[in-house]
Structure formats: structure tokens, C-alpha cells
Amino acid sequence: MGEVILTMKDIDKSFPGVHALDHVDFELKRGEVHALMGENGAGKSTLMKVLTGIYTKDSGTITYEGREVEFHNTRDAQAAGIVIVHQELNMVGDLTVAQNIFIGREFKKGFMIDDRKMIQESKKLFDELHINIDPKAKMSDLTVGKQQMCEIAKAISHQAKVIIFDEPSAALTEKEIEDLFAIIRDLRKQNLGIIYISHRMDEIKVITDRVTVMRDGAYVGTLITDECTKEDIINMMVGRVIYEDPKTHSMVPADAPVVLKVEHLNAGKMVQDVSFELRKGEILGFSGLMGAGRTETARALFGADPKTGGDIYINGKKVTINSPEDAVKNGIGYLSEDRKRFGIVVQKTITENSTLATLPKYMSGLFINKGAEKEVTEKYIKELDTKTPSADQLVVNLSGGNQQKVVIAKWLVRNCDILIFDEPTRGIDVGAKNEIYKLMNRLASEGKSIIMISSEMTEILRMSDRIIVMCEGKKTGEISIEEATQEAIMDKATRDIK
Amino acid sequence: MTKKKSIFTQEVIVGIVLVALYFIFRTISSDFGKYTTFLSMMDISYYYALMAIGVAFPLITGGVDLSIGTGMICYALAGGCLIRFYNVPTGLAMLVSVLFGLGIGLANGVLISVMGLPPFLATLCTCMITRGLGSVVTGSFAIPWPTAKQDNGWFHSIFKITLADKTKLPLGLVWIILLMLIMQFVLAHTRFGRYTIAIGSNKEAAILSGINVKFYHIMVYAVSGLFAGLASIAYAAVIKTVQPGTGAGMELDAIGGAIVGGVSASGGYGTIYGTVIGAYVILFLKQGLPYIGFNANMQQIITGFVLIGAVTIDIIKRKVIK
Amino acid sequence: MKKKMLAVMMSAVLVGGLMAVPAFAAENLSDTTEGIAQFDGLEAKEAYDFQIVVKSFQSTYWQAALQGMDQAAEELGVTYSAQGPASESDIADQVNMLNSAINGAPAGVGLAACDTSSVLESLQAAADAGVPIVAFDTGIADAPEGSVVCTVVTDNTAAGEVAAENLYAAVKDQIGNGTVRIGEINQDNYALNIQQRGLGFINKLIELAAADGYTVAMEGNEFYVDAAEGAVEGDADIILEVRVPAQTTVDLCSTEAGTILDKEDTIAVFGSNQTAAEGLLVANDNREVLGDTVVGVGFDAGTSIKAAVEDGTFLGAVTQSPLMMGYYCIYALTAAANGEELIDVPTDGYWYDASNMEDENIAPNLYD
Amino acid sequence: MENIKQNPVVKKLGFNRIILFCILLLMYGVFSVIIPGFASMDRIMSILNYTYFLGFLALGVTFVIATGGIDFSIGPVMFCCALMAGYTLNTHGAPVIVSLIMSIVIGFCFGCFNGYLVAFVGVPPFIVSMATMNIAKGLGSVFTKTQSVSWPQGNDPSGKGWFRNLVKAGDFPVGLLIFAVAIVILYIVMNNTKAGRYILCLGSNKEAVRLSGVNVRKWQMLAYVICGALVGIAAIFFVGAYTTVQPGLGDTYNNEAIASCVMGGTSMAGGLASIGGTVIGVLVISLLQEGIMALRMTKEVQMIITGIIVIVFVYADVSARRRRN
């Protein structure tokens, strides 16, 4: 480890209604891999966005290479040598791999962009990284994993001094992760500073030198990786919040009836011959890597995407589900992983969102019975403890956790027996997360059946009665909670590739 | 760009349609095949093709420019006014027309990129404003540009030259092809073109890649305005007398041409040669159907259905690939 | 400002023309003396302000009309302000303008109606309010009692007929040896004056051909085909083809004109208004058959039509007298405001060709 | 300023709409002062003539814009309705009531056509509009053999002119009554019925509504159908006031209708629509055009002013939303 290259001090940032960063400190040295950890919503990504100029900080200082700096956009940051590999893929699908890697700093021959040189350089870059990607391929034709590798290659090609990896491994196979680590070690040798954001405790131990932990937008502390244990880090991350006790055994009675049976479900490449059963009162966890086909399975089951085959039985009766309309009629509700895009209508009120799936029930003749609508909305605001001044509040003004509660309320109003929760706690702060867990357990105990898709291993292990593991569109395993361990799940989630 | 892609891209299909249309019209009407008919068609094609080349850029960014039709008339009126009332040399007046177009284009760009107005609305407003301006500068009067035989009418020969043996050559077609190649080159091989595609495909990613998206977004509309300015000269050269209050609806033919020529209606993809071919398909329908005995009004109905057909085929094609 | 400039440019030619008003050349189409005589010695009782509503300012035709008005207003010491919709087809706008003009209670309103039916209600309102209306350019047949006090128009049927006569005389020799084709381009078929003109041309041509023992068959636009009188079905000596474009733009007119010019048997074409005649010229730009193998006849004036007549591309053209119409419109308004009873003023249509373009009573009407 | 904006009443009515309404009143005041005799009943009637048909057009397109779509074929479609129905009336001697219904039905059919293509086939609304515009113009021309169509005068001896009483009976503005009833009905449809709720929600986030088990295609199509039927009604008021329609025209009214919607606070992005705002917008444009004419300026000046007002209002809207996010 060399001298300090970057210091962030007292960084403060607020969004309307959210104190996203509360006087956070951070320090990075040359030749170090520094992990930044924290639960979802702890403020890691926000801190990095402040660093790279995407957000403007409210107060605090950033010292980089001995000088105080303030970047106004990513371009400034890049020019100074700070690049970020984003969590969400930021690729221009209509351009080729090489064009994407060099976007914003194309090689030029006179007026002309020198595409040939860009392709050569990309090849060189990929060779160095031992990745096999055709630089001339169109970006949108690549798999998510490969796109991620391109994103990393792009960052590295920037002659950077500081590289930020924001959850880079989420979509990668184990082999690809190995490659990534090799690359990171190589970069460390070249005396670069690396910030590594990840949830995977194992990786942190393997690759990083120091760990900084954040919680609820605040700085908690920094540890030297070799000198601490996993538990130390987890304690710092979780802090005061006492989660629901992890399940040690299934809470579902052995004789609970099967409410949903899916047989040989097929839908494109991402859903291949998936079969499973769901019992009354059960929380069925779906685990796997990003891009394993869990969301696609849920969407196909819900009728949101077209299926190519498979049978669905509800309470033993075969049903046809060709559209979400059919699914909802059959008592299935779906909470999407992408709340803003698929879950809520942000510019509308809580009331309007709550009754969206049930509107025909709240009609008196031709007109909407606004009184009854408001009544039921207020009932669920109270029941779910949604924090809002009134039922007429626009959903856009709510925090992530409360927005999620509005979506849940939508399905509870509908009285759905089968609920699909796709990443129910993504982008939700820690306190709200626990409330959602409690709520899920309560719903299960009331006899609702829940399919929970989650990428957080701790969440899967904490909540599920039974776990289904998927990999590359196929179901690769089914594990009871008693037998489940992180290793067992990871093994199945990556089984095919090894 | 990838090898597995079928060679039957929209551009190729539209190209085949264009050739097929030509031969169908030719077979049915012997007059259609005459060289003079071809010349007349070319005359009228120039300003549509120029507008289409320009508007392809906003379309590829996922936007649109509705101000080019009325704009073109407005610029032609302004230039014509200078020649007629202020004895400005033709060359200078032409330059003013083009710069006027560029200016309105820049204004569109600022409204959309800096002030954040939706492109449809911003250009709808400039469409109304240019239409009004055109009438205001001329006091609502029609403005004749100099005819080819007048001293200052040399600009007609930019688009058509007469050889010693009285043969006429559609020189304008050369310019259209040249500009098409240049702009295709710009789109495919310069930063400006690349960022145009990037803005249309994933604007957020473009911003995060450190591109000055605001600047390039303005430039996209400036190009559209510039080409509307160029079109105004082609219009003046062919139609000669420019009437204020006209021009509305011409932009739709140009945009329709670009869409038929494979420019994605949602942005992110398009080629300039496809755009030009598409514009000529629309023009062939407009100009060719009267030759094969169609009621002039049937042509509008057919054009409407061709437009829907072209886009529907594209939608179905994409669904099949998925 | 522009208006002023135009005025300066025009007034020189204008004066010469107006001096010669009572003595018209032989080509004039109808008797105008009586209508004009009523304005002898007219003086405005006060400095009236008139409202003029024209069809639009789009074509230079209307600019010429305004020149006439300027001249008359200056002579009489009255003022006027003119307004018109963006295009001749914006009927609703014109009705609103007319209503607005009447609501302003002016000394009188001069109206060139885009559509004669849609203004009737407004005319009733004018009659009720006692605002005298002078219809110019386009007569209003069903005008309510007491609204239109004077009509200053050129007889469009006669204008079409004179075009037919001149055209027929030029091509007469070519008729009889197999079928020949004569074309007519009309900008549209719903404006009354263009209908009259088009039909005047058609019916006169059929009449002239019949007199020489030739038959005429109609082709093209259904309206004119149906309205033609005396045409035959099937084989005929002359095919009279009428084409109307989908929209009233020069480029579409030129396409329609091109289809006619391209036909081998075409011997003559008539473009029935400025836009149609300009379209005909645009089509001829490449084909260069007019004045050579095909006889072309235009209508109205404007830079390119004048040039075409001058260099023989067009055999000639018919001009209405927009200038006279404008001029007498103001005279009629003034007289009406004075409280005088008026009779209609038919203005002239002139046949002009390269030989008489410079004539003092024609030149002023040949606006640019 | 901020306090005023936070006032619940102001919030409910919409700050921009209040401003727009003030502009309307101010404009009327200014015109009345500088133009002698502007504040007369005749003027108001003349303004209303323009308000009716533009109002129905704008209200119709409000529903389409609420879904995040666009329809700029409304002007030509209106003319097509009036042409086809009027031609049937004049040439085939159909009873007036049949023609009136026919006009609405034709508009309805165009709405179905547009809606089907947008909602079920997935053609972008912009392109559908372009195509429909051409088709409507062509159809109107072909059907009438490119004739203009004049509807019967109020005093037509055949008695066919009774439909003009829908606009104005004697000096009583019946049209205003009908228009007011239509506004109330459409306000209720937009705010108190399933159709309005779904249309607004799907305009804001179509996927979320679909995943709530709603048949979004049906409701999206309905917006275009409502628009089409209202365009058919607009056609009746157009000929009721202006008698004659010509084939191949009508484009100019698209811009004015869309402009009134947008300045009234309906968002081009969809999801936000204000029937009241649209009505104020229509009144602003009608008043502006009468005022401009009374000032002896040309229509073009009105276009320029309208363009600028729209830019200012949309910019105010966009920047307000930006600040909020």
C-alpha cells in the first residue's frame, strides 16, 4: 500500500425526505483494494456518485492527489483518473462493443473516428484481461455477464488511478469472478487505488485489504480485512437493527395443501422446463445469480411475458394464464424487482395505486366510489404502517420502503392468495427492510403463499421455508431450509459452469 | 455489423421496393419512363430529400423536428425578400436562408436540450412560429425568386444544368447523393454521429460516459435546421414563387421517408442512405401514382397505408427475432 | 414597409393604366363602361375607413389588388386596412375575420369570399348592422337582401371562354387527323371562380369544335367530366383531359401537368389559375414542349407566367384585372358609404400575349 | 410565492392553470380597452364559434395525450367527417339527423383505427397520426369527388338547417350549453370513472398498470375512440358555425388543439391531464385569435404568440418537475 490518494471528509448529501449521506468519511491508498460495505440503502452508491460528480455534495471535502477537488460530471472525474463500473449496466445497446468501450474518447483520424484502431485496442484490452468477446459484436446481443466484463474493460482502459467497482460480481459466474480477481490483483500491483463494493462476504475476505462499513447513510468504521472476522463486519453493518430471527426449520405444516403447481414452464432462453410446487402458508425462496432466470420465471408465471409451454395448476385445477389479467383473476399478485418501472404509478396518489388492481370493486354504477376507496387505502396505510401525511400523497414523494408498502397494499386489497415478491427489499433502508420481513412472515402465517426472489443470500436464508435455486434458466436445485447453507446454494447456482 | 445479421435489412427491402415501384409505374405507364418525367421528379425530390437527411438526426436521437416544413418556406421567403427588395446578391441571400435555418435549428436544440421541452412540443411551437415569421417578414406576400433567365438566377444551375445540346442533367441528384454519403459518413464515423446514436439508444449511459450530451443534442437539431435551410434553396430553385403559409405537412413526408427507410421510430438506429431511399419511395408514390391513372387523392390514402405497413413490418420482424 | 415599396414600384405603371380607363382595347370581354361611369366625379363625404377581407395574400394576384386599392384610397382620401387568412382554403379564419371586421362597425367592408356559403350568416349580420358590403373578385349569388351593395368581379366563365377561343384558334389545324389531346390543369374543383373558369373553357372548346364538326371526349376529374356539356363518350377527335391535384401546391400541379405533357397526342394545355399555370411551367422546365409542339395557355400573371408569355412558352394568358377590381372596390365602398345606390361593376379579363403585354391598359394588371 | 403555491385550494386547481386563467382575463381586459367595442355580445358569439369546435378537438386529444400518446390527425379527420356526412346529406338526401350521427360514427371509426394500431399492433402514435392524416384527407377527397361541401343554411327552405340551432338558436348560445355539459361529462369521465383512472395511470406507467392485471390495451384504445367521437362532434360544430368544408385540409387545427391542451397543464409525457385546463387553453386561443383579428393583425401573429405561450408554460412545468425530483 502506498500513500493516500483520495480522502473524502464529512460528506453530506440530502434528497427531499431522505438524508442520504450523513457526514461520511472515506480514505483510499494507492495499491489498495478497499471494500465499501453496508446493507442496501446504506449510502454506498450515493457516496460513489458524489465522488464521480453525478451528484453534487451538500457539504464536505474531497481531496484527490493532495488537492481539493470537486467534479461536476463523470467526464471531469474520468479526466482526473477516477472511473466507475456501475451497478446498473450503462451501455449503448445499439453500438458495438468497441464503440462502447471508447465512447466519449474515440480515436480520430482527421474528422473520422478510427474504428479499426478502436477494435484493435479493444482486442488488446480483452487479451490482457483474458476475456473472449468480439469487439465488433453489437452490445445488445451480449449476455449480461459479458456486458459487465465490457464495462470493466472500459473502466480499465481509462488509464485510471482510482477504479470503483459497484457490485461487479452480481452477474458473473465463478469462473468470471476468478478472472475479475486476477485483473484486480494485477491492477493493485500497478499501484492503482480500487474501491470494491460488494455484498459477498467471502469475496471481501479474499480480495480486499481494508473494509469501510456504512449504515443508514452514516460512516460506521474502517477495519483491516486480515485482522477482522466476518462477524465483526456483519455486526457493524447491521448495528442496532434486530432482524427477524432466521428460520431454522420450515414453518409450513407437513399437510399444508399445494396451492400452486407449475409444470415444465418454458419461456425463451431464460426459462427452461421449470417445475415447482408452492404450499399454503409457505415462503418459497428463489435463489440464483443475476440473470439466472428467476424474474423471467415469475413474469412468465404471471403472464407478463409470453410462455412457450408449461402447465399451471392452482388448488389442483389447471388454469390458463396468458396475461397479468388472467393471473390476477386467479389470485396471483406480483411485486416487481423494479418498483419504479413495473410496480407503482409514481405520479399518482397512494389511493389510486392501492386500488389499481381492484378498481371494479370500488365502483358504484359508472362512477368510482372515492369514499370507499379512501377508506380501504387508509386501512392499509395503518395496517402496513406506511409513513405518509395522507392517502392523497403522490407516491413519488414516498421513500422506497413506503412505496413498496403501497405495492403490497395493492395486492392485499385484492386479497391475493399467492404473492410473488421479486427482490422485495431492493433499495429499501434497513429499518423498513425488517418491517417487510415481519409483514411477509405475518402474511404467511395468515395462510398466504409467497414466492420470494432474492439475490441476497442472508435474506433467502432468513426468510425461506424452502429454497429453489436457478441457474441459466434452469432449476438446478431444491433445498429445504434445514439443509440450506450459503455454500450449498452457491454450489447449485453455479453448478453448470464449473 | 455482426455477421449473423440477415442482408435483408429495412434499407435493402426499401431499396428493392423503390426499384420495383419504378418498374411497375414504367410498365403501366409508358410516359413515366420518359427522361423528362424523371427530370421533373428529381426537381421536386431535392427539397424533400434534403429535409429527410436533416430530420433523420433528431429521429435517431428519439426526437423529432416538426419545424422543417414551415421553416423551409420561412427561410426561402426571407432569402427571396432580400433579393427582391434589398437587391442583395443571390449568393448572400442563399447564405442568409441557410443560416436562418441553422439559427432556428439551434433554437430548437436549446429548447429541447437545455430547457428540457419534449421535442415534439418544442418543434411544434417553432413550426407555428416559423410559419408566422415567414408571413411577417414578407407582409404575407408571395415572394418570387429570380428565374433561371434573369441575371441573378444562376443558382438554378446548382440543381440542373443544360448542356450545349440542350440536354438537361439533374445535377441536384449528385448533390443529394454526395450529401447523403457525407452525412452517412458523419453518422457512422464521427463523434457527432456516434453520440447521436448513443443519445437515441441510451441517453443516461451517454451522460455517464462523460459525453457532453447537451451540446451534441443541440447540434443534432442544428443539423436538422441547416438541412431545412439548404432545402429552402432547392425549393426556391424549383418552385420559384414561394408562398407564405404553406409548408405545413411537408415535414411529415420527409419524416415518413426516414421512417420508411428504416430509421427507428423510437430512436437509436437509422441510416442516411435508408432515409434518402425512403424519401424517394414516398416521392414516387406522390409523383408516380397520377401516372398510372390513380385519382390524385387515392395517393394520399395509399401513402398512409404504406407508412403503417412499413412500421408494422418492422415491429413484426423485431418480435420474430426475439 | 414592404407595402410602401411595392406601391412605389407599381404606381408608375399604375398611373398610365388608370388614365386610360374608359377606353379599353378590343380584347376586353364585357361591357364595363356603364358600371364605371357611375363613379364619375365621386368624392368621399368624409375620410371613411374601410375593412377589406381578401382570400389570402398568398399569390401575387392579391398584391396587385391591393395596389389598386391604395391608388383609389389616395385619390379619394379614404383609408382601408386589409386582412386575409393564411391560405385561400382557411374558410373558418376568413369568416372570423369578416365577423371581426363587421363587429368593428366600419364604413364598409370589401370582401373576396373564399367560400360563398359560409359567409352568408355574417352578411346577414352586416345587413342588420347596416354595414355595406362590396363583393369583389368573387360574386356572392345568394347574398342576403341588403348586404352586398355592389359586386366588382371579372366574369370567370368569359375568362375561361376567351382562353378556349385563343387556344382553339392556335391548334385548329392539327385537329382532325386522329385523336389529339387538350389538357386543363385546375388547382381545385371547389372554388367557384375556378369552377366557372374551368367549365367556361371546357364548354367553349366543345362548342367551337362542334362548329367545325369535331367531337370532344372528356377524361380525368369526375366533377368536370360530369359537368361538361356536349361531350361524347368513346372515340372522338379531341380528348379534353382535366386534372386536379390532391392539394393546391405548385409541385403537385406540376406532377399533374407532367402526366399530360408526357402524352404523345397532347397538343395544348391550359392552366386555369396562377398556381396551376406555374405548375405547368415547372413541369415544362424539363420537357420544353410548350411553345414548341404543345400550345400552352396560362392564367393571371406573376413573374414566371409573364416571362413565359414573353418568350413564347405560353401562347398567351388571360388576366383578370385585380388592380381594377381593387381600385373599383374602394370606389364602390366610398359611394356606398356616401349613401348612393350602386350597380354592379364588371371588370375586365384580358387576353394577353407577347404582342400586347406592353399595352397601357394591360401592363398595369400584369403584376409580378 | 411559495406560500401561495402551497395553499391547498391553489394546489387543487393548479398554479399554472390559475395563472393561465388570469392571463385569459387580462387579455380580455386589454383587448376591451384598446379595441373599441370589443366587449360586445357579437364578439363573444364570434369567439364562441371558434371555441366550440376547437374545444371538442382539444378535449378529445386531451384523452390521447393523457395516455402518453399523440394524435395530430384530428383536424383532417374532423374535415373528413364533415365532408362525408355533408356529402351524404346534400347529394344523397339523407336526413340531417342521420348525417350528424354519421359524422360522429366516422370520427369514432377513425378513433378505433388509430387506437387499434397504437394499442394492439404497437405502431408509435406519431406514425399512426401521420398515416391517418393522409388517409383522412384522401378519403374526404375521394368520397366527395374533391368537392367542397356546404351544409345547409339556417334558413334553408328544406328545413334542413335546424342543426344550426345546436350552435346558436336566435341569439341564445345553445352551443355553450352543450359544450358545458360535455365538459362536465368529460371531467367526470376523466376523474371519476374506471376509464379515466386507467387512462391516466397507463399514461404514467403502462407496465405497472398491466402488471396490476388491467387490460391496458383496451383502455389505451378507448382513449383514441373517445377522441375520435369527440372529433366527430367537433365537425358538427365546425359546419354549424362555418358552413363549408373543403377536402385536403384541416391541419392547422391540430396545432391549436394540442397547444390548448398543453398550456392547460396536460403533460405530453402522459399521466397528467386537466379537462378544465384544456378548456381555459381553448378559450385563450379563441380569444387571442379574435383579438388579433380585431387589431387587424394577421393570423400569423396569433401563431407566433401561441407558440411562445406554449413554450413558456411547458418550460414552467418541466422546470417545476425537475426541481421536485
What is the per-residue pLDDT for A354? Answer: 92
* Interchain proximity B296–C256, CB inside 8 Å: yes
* Interchain proximity D146–C188, CB inside 8 Å: yes
Is residue B135 over pLDDT 50? yes
* pLDDT mean across residues, chain C: 84
Q: In this prediction, what percent of chain A has a pLDDT beyond 70?
A: 93
The CATH number covering residue A489 comes to 3.40.50.300
Distance from CA of B281 to the nearest CA of D (A): 15
* Interchain proximity A368–D197, CB inside 8 Å: yes
What is d(CA A424, CA A405) in angstroms, rounded to the nearest whole number?
Answer: 10
What is d(CA A272, CA C69) in angstroms, rounded to the nearest whole number?
Answer: 84
Is residue B295 over pLDDT 80? no
pLDDT band at B264 (very low <50, low <70, confident <90, very high): confident
* Interchain proximity B268–A93, CB inside 8 Å: yes
Name the neighbours of A, counting chains with at least 3 Cβ pairs within 8 A: B, D
Q: In this prediction, what percent of chain D has a pLDDT beyond 90?
A: 66
pLDDT band at C45 (very low <50, low <70, confident <90, very high): confident
Mean pLDDT over C181-188 rounds to 89
* Interchain proximity D268–B297, CB inside 8 Å: no
Q: In this prediction, what percent of chain C has a pLDDT beyond 90?
A: 35
* Cβ atoms within 10 Å of D106's Cβ, excluding its own: 27
* Interchain proximity C58–B245, CB inside 8 Å: yes
Q: Which of A183, A210, A238 is the last residue of a domain?
A: A238
What is the per-residue pLDDT for A27? Answer: 92
Residue D25 CB partners (closer than 8 Å, separation 6+): none
In a domain, C354, yes or no: no
Q: How, if at all, do strands A309-314 and A258-267 pair?
A: antiparallel
In a domain, A253, yes or no: no
Is residue A456 over pLDDT 60? yes
Mean pLDDT over C35-63 rounds to 85
pLDDT band at A243 (very low <50, low <70, confident <90, very high): low
Q: Report the CATH fold assignment for D41-307.
A: ABC transporter involved in vitamin B12 uptake, BtuC (1.10.3470)
Is residue B173 over pLDDT 60? yes
* Interchain proximity D193–A366, CB inside 8 Å: yes
Give pLDDT tens digits for D226-269.
999 999 999 999 999 998 898 888 888 999 999 999 999 898 88
Across-strand partners of C350?
A: C319
Is residue A168 over pLDDT 50? yes
Q: In this prediction, what percent of chain D has a pLDDT beyond 70?
A: 98
Total domain count, chain C: 2
Is residue C4 over pLDDT 50? no
* Interchain proximity D294–C223, CB inside 8 Å: no
In the structure, do chain C and chain A come into contact, i.e. share 3 or more CB pairs under 8 Å? no
Q: Which residues of D touch C118 (CB under 8 A)?
A: 150, 242-244
What is d(CA D325, CA D320) in angstroms, rounded to the nearest whole number?
Answer: 9
What is the per-residue pLDDT for C24? Answer: 31
What is the per-residue pLDDT for A88? Answer: 65
What is d(CA C279, CA C333) in angstroms, rounded to the nearest whole number?
Answer: 36
Q: Does A160 touch chain D (CB under 8 A)?
A: no
What is the per-residue pLDDT for C360? Answer: 80
The residue that leads in pLDDT, C271 or A129, is C271
* pLDDT mean across residues, chain A: 86
Residue C68: which of C149, C110, C24, C10 has the closest Cα?
C10
Name the residue in chain C with its Cα closest to that of B300. C246
Q: Which of D123, D129, D132, D312 to mutate to test the interface with B (most CBs of B within 10 A)?
A: D123
Mean pLDDT over D140-164 rounds to 86
Q: Does D6 touch chain A (CB under 8 A)?
A: no
Instruction: Assign residue D35 a region (left: φ > 0; alpha: ψ between -120 and 50; beta: otherwise).
Output: beta
Domain boundaries, chain B: 10-22+29-321
In a domain, A398, yes or no: yes
Whole-Å CA distances, A471 to A179, A235, A276, A484: 20, 31, 15, 17
* Interchain proximity D301–B122, CB inside 8 Å: no
What is the per-residue pLDDT for C271? Answer: 93
pLDDT band at B6 (very low <50, low <70, confident <90, very high): low
What is d(CA C321, CA A393) in angstroms, rounded to the nearest whole number?
Answer: 70
What is d(CA C197, CA C99) in angstroms, rounded to the nearest whole number?
Answer: 29
Q: Which residues of B touch A113 (CB under 8 A)?
A: 189-191, 194
My answer on whether A267 and A208 are in the same domain is no
* Interchain proximity A95–B189, CB inside 8 Å: no
In a domain, C28, yes or no: yes
Amino acid of residue D283: L
My answer on whether C249 and C232 are in the same domain is yes
* Interchain proximity D298–C83, CB inside 8 Å: yes
What is the per-residue pLDDT for B5? Answer: 53
* pLDDT mean across residues, chain B: 89
Is residue D38 over pLDDT 90? no
Measure the CA angle with vertex C114, ends C108 and C117; round to 5°: 85
My answer on whether C164 and C283 are in the same domain is yes
Give pLDDT tens digits for C9-40.
444 444 334 333 332 333 444 556 677 778 88
What is d(CA C217, CA C238) in angstroms, rounded to the nearest whole number?
Answer: 6
What is the per-residue pLDDT for C36? Answer: 77
Q: Which residues of A touch B1 (CB under 8 A)?
A: 96, 136, 138
pLDDT band at B280 (very low <50, low <70, confident <90, very high): very high
Q: How, if at all, do strands D149-150 and B241-242 pair?
A: unpaired
Total domain count, chain A: 2
* pLDDT mean across residues, chain D: 91
My answer on whether C220 and C314 are in the same domain is yes
Is residue D296 over pLDDT 60? yes
Please tell me which of the candidates B116, B128, B255 has its beta carbon nearest to residue D303. Answer: B128
* Interchain proximity A366–D204, CB inside 8 Å: no
My answer on whether C236 and C335 are in the same domain is no
Q: Does C128 touch chain D (CB under 8 A)?
A: no
Name the residue in chain D with its Cα closest to that of C191. D148
What is the per-residue pLDDT for A429? Answer: 66
What is the per-residue pLDDT for C11? Answer: 44
My answer on whether C333 and C290 are in the same domain is no
Do residues C218 and C224 lie in contact, with contact meaning Cβ atoms separated by under 8 Å?
Answer: yes
Residue B227 CB partners (closer than 8 Å, separation 6+): B50, B51, B53, B54, B55, B68, B101
In a domain, A252, yes or no: no
Distance from CA of C97 to the nearest CA of B (A): 15
Q: Which of C275, C303, C319 is the last residue of a domain?
A: C319
Is residue A225 over pLDDT 80? yes
ipTM: 0.86
The residue that leads in pLDDT, B311 or B104, is B104
Q: Which residues of C touch D257 (CB under 8 A)?
A: none
Distance from CA of B168 to the nearest CA of C (A): 7
What is the per-residue pLDDT for A87? Answer: 66
In a domain, A498, yes or no: no
What is the per-residue pLDDT for A76? Answer: 86
Question: What does the DSSP 8-state code read for residue D150?
Answer: E
Q: Does D2 touch chain C (CB under 8 A)?
A: no
What is d(CA C71, CA B170) in angstroms, rounded to the nearest whole number?
Answer: 45
Q: In this prediction, what percent of chain A has a pLDDT beyond 90?
A: 35
My answer on whether C165 and C246 are in the same domain is yes
Q: Does D271 touch chain A (CB under 8 A)?
A: yes
In a domain, C357, yes or no: no
Q: How, if at all, do strands C133-136 and C109-111 pair?
A: parallel
Residue A225: which of A202, A259, A251, A244 has the closest Cα?
A202
What is the per-residue pLDDT for A1? Answer: 63
Is residue D187 over pLDDT 90? yes
What is the per-residue pLDDT for A157? Answer: 85
| DSSP collapsed to 3 states, chain A | CCCEEEEEEEEEEEECCEEEEEEEEEEEECCCEEEEECCCCCCHHHHHHHHCCCCCCCEEEEEECCEEECCCCHHHHHHHCEEEECCCCCCCCCCEHHHHHCCCCCCEECCEECHHHHHHHHHHHHHHHCCCCCCCCEHHHCCHHHHHHHHHHHHHCCCCCEEEEECHHHHCCHHHHHHHHHHHHHHHHCCCEEEEECCCHHHHHHHCCEEEEEECCEEEEEEEHHHCCHHHHHHHHHCCCCCCCCCCCCCCCCCCCEEEEEEEEEECCCEEEEEEEEECCCEEEEECCCCCCHHHHHHHHHCCCCCCEEEEEECCEEECCCCHHHHHHCCEEEECCCHHHHHCCCCCEHHHHHCCCCHHHHEECCEECHHHHHHHHHHHHHHHCCCCCCCCCEHHHCCHHHHHHHHHHHHHHHCCCEEEEECCCCCCCHHHHHHHHHHHHHHHHCCCEEEEECCCHHHHHHHCCEEEEEECCEEEEEEECCCCCHHHHHHHHCCCCC
Do residues D311 and D108 lie in contact, with contact meaning Cβ atoms separated by under 8 Å?
Answer: no
pLDDT band at A182 (very low <50, low <70, confident <90, very high): confident
The CATH number covering residue C189 comes to 3.40.50.2300
Domain boundaries, chain D: 41-307
Is residue D48 over pLDDT 60? yes
Is residue A135 over pLDDT 80? yes
In a domain, A249, yes or no: no
Q: Which of A207, A238, A269 is the last residue of a domain?
A: A238
Mean pLDDT comparison of A128-137, B288-297, C102-111, C347-356, highest-scoring range: C102-111
pLDDT band at D146 (very low <50, low <70, confident <90, very high): confident
Name the residue in chain B with its Cα closest to that of A111. B190
Name the residue in chain A with its Cα closest to that of D205. A345
Q: Does C58 touch chain B (CB under 8 A)?
A: yes
Mean pLDDT over A328-349 rounds to 88
CA end-to-end span of chain B: 18
Amino acid of residue C68: G
Distance from CA of B209 to the nearest CA of C (A): 47
My answer on whether A446 and A347 are in the same domain is yes
Is residue A171 over pLDDT 70? no
* Interchain proximity A90–B185, CB inside 8 Å: no
Q: Which of A210, A238, A266 is the last residue of a domain?
A: A238
Is residue B20 over pLDDT 90? yes
Q: Does C44 touch chain B (CB under 8 A)?
A: no
Is residue C8 over pLDDT 60? no
Name the neighbours of C, counting chains with at least 3 Cβ pairs within 8 A: B, D
pLDDT band at D324 (very low <50, low <70, confident <90, very high): low
Name the neighbours of B, counting chains with at least 3 Cβ pairs within 8 A: A, C, D
* Interchain proximity B206–A92, CB inside 8 Å: yes
* Interchain proximity C243–B296, CB inside 8 Å: yes
Amino acid of residue A255: D
My answer on whether A208 and A262 are in the same domain is no
Distance from CA of B128 to the nearest CA of D (A): 5
Q: Which residues of D touch A328 (CB under 8 A)?
A: 212-213
What is the per-residue pLDDT for A16? Answer: 67
Mean pLDDT over C310-337 rounds to 91
What is the per-residue pLDDT for B177? Answer: 96
* Interchain proximity D293–C223, CB inside 8 Å: no
Calculate the CA C126 to chain-centre distance: 26
The residue that leads in pLDDT, A352 or B297, is A352
* Range in A404-408, A426-430, C348-352 the model is least confident about: A426-430
Mean pLDDT over B196-215 rounds to 89
- Report the SS3 class of residue B1: coil
Q: Which domain holds residue C120?
A: 2-155+321-349
Q: In the CATH scheme, what is the code of domain B10-22+29-321?
A: 1.10.3470
Say how many CB pairs under 8 Å bridge C and D: 101
Across-strand partners of A83?
A: A163
What is the per-residue pLDDT for C35? Answer: 75
Amino acid of residue D1: M
In a domain, C207, yes or no: yes
Distance from CA of A62 to the nearest CA of D (A): 25
- Give, to the nearest 10 degrees, the angle between helix D41-66 and helix D275-294: 140
Q: Which domain holds residue A479?
A: 258-493
Sign of CA dihedral B99, B101, B106, B111: positive
